[in-house]
């Protein structure tokens, strides 16, 4: 028996395993959407917590927001970011290194909410915030109430 012929069963087995791996990998990478599927009439509603001021962490959160919006499509998801504690600082127009990114997300309908209790603690007012950021009395109850109304809460 030639060496090439002896290798045929091994090659067949290797090819079969490779095909199985590709098939499993393709299926494993697919996200199954729950009903009702996200749409303009029934968008996914997601509230993100922003609780850190470290620029690297803030950028990671903003990137996650963009990724989620890209996944669902701009018309099929409503995203709100609630900033409280140290996470309020990225929304302060005179302190933030990520202002352009926040304004860019607001331009594509991402809503940013600042915790009024944190603002009071920091002796800040609405005029200190990036234009377009709204203030809620307290960030954590805002998240709780949105969850009770069916919003998903993410804290990346």
pLDDT digits (tens, 9 = 90+) for 5-17: 555 555 554 454 4
β-bridge mates for residue 111, sequence order: 80
Provide the whole-model pTM.
0.81
What is the predicted pLDDT for the residue at 118? 98
Tell me, what's the pLDDT at 28?
A: 60
Residue 131 φ then ψ, to 5°: -55, 135
Q: What order of strands is seen across the sheet that includes strand 77-83?
A: 134-136, 110-115, 77-83, 44-50, 152-154
User: Do 156 and 140 meet the contact criterion of CB atoms below 8 Å apart?
Assistant: no
Distance CA 108, CA 82 (A): 17
Q: Contact, 69 vs 111, CB < 8 A?
A: no
Whether the bond into 36 is cis, omega within 30 of 0 = yes
How far is residue 42's CA from residue 95's CA, in Å, rounded to a whole number?
37
Pull the structure tokens for residue 8. 């045929």
Q: Considering the chain, what is the average pLDDT of its residues?
A: 89
Q: What is the pLDDT of residues 97-118, one digit of tens each?
A: 999 999 999 999 999 999 999 9
pLDDT band at 130 (very low <50, low <70, confident <90, very high): very high
| Distance of alpha carbon 88 from alpha carbon 92, whole angstroms | 7
Q: What is the pLDDT of residues 63-102, one digit of tens each?
A: 999 999 999 999 999 999 999 999 999 999 999 999 999 9
């Amino acid at each position: 028996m030639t060496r090439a012929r002896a290798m045929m069963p091994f090659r067949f087995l290797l090819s079969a395993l490779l095909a199985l791996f590709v098939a499993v990998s393709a299926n494993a990478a697919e996200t199954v959407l729950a009903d009702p599927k996200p749409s303009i009439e029934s968008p996914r509603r997601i509230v993100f917590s922003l609780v850190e001021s470290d620029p690297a962490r803030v950028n990671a959160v903003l990137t996650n927001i963009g990724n989620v919006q890209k996944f669902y499509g701009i018309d099929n998801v409503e995203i709100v970011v609630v900033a409280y504690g140290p996470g309020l600082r990225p929304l302060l127009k005179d302190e933030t290194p990520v202002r352009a990114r926040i304004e860019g997300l607001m331009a594509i309908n991402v809503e940013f909410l600042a915790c009024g209790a944190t603002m009071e603690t920091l002796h800040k007012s609405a005029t200190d915030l990036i234009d377009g950021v709204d203030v809620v009395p307290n960030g954590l109850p805002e998240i709780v109430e949105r969850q009770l109304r069916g919003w998903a809460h993410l804290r990346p």
